[in-house]
Amino acid sequence: MRFNSTRFIIDPTPRRADGEYVAHARISTRRLDGSEYDVHLSGDLAGFDVREDAIAHAKNWAQDWLCVCFG
């Protein structure tokens, strides 16, 4: 099952390190005043040669994390 919510924003932008793309996810949401705050920062998840693979991995990881934590 995939978590589907408009309350959370997933930023799966990888960072570049040692010639590879390191997947990580930033999960945030917005307050009533519109300001954004972090719900969870994954830390480094895995390294990939292809940027799109790192992004896909981070998105999947974040979806799984949201499903476990918020069902």
Residue 2 lies in a domain: no
- Tens of pLDDT, residue by residue over 15-58, are 999 999 999 999 999 899 989 899 999 999 999 999 999 999 99
- Confidence label for 2 from pLDDT (cuts 50, 70 and 90): low
Residue 1 lies in a domain: no
- Confidence label for 1 from pLDDT (cuts 50, 70 and 90): very low
Amino acid type, 12: P
Residue 57 lies in a domain: yes
Domain enclosing residue 30, as ranges: 8-70
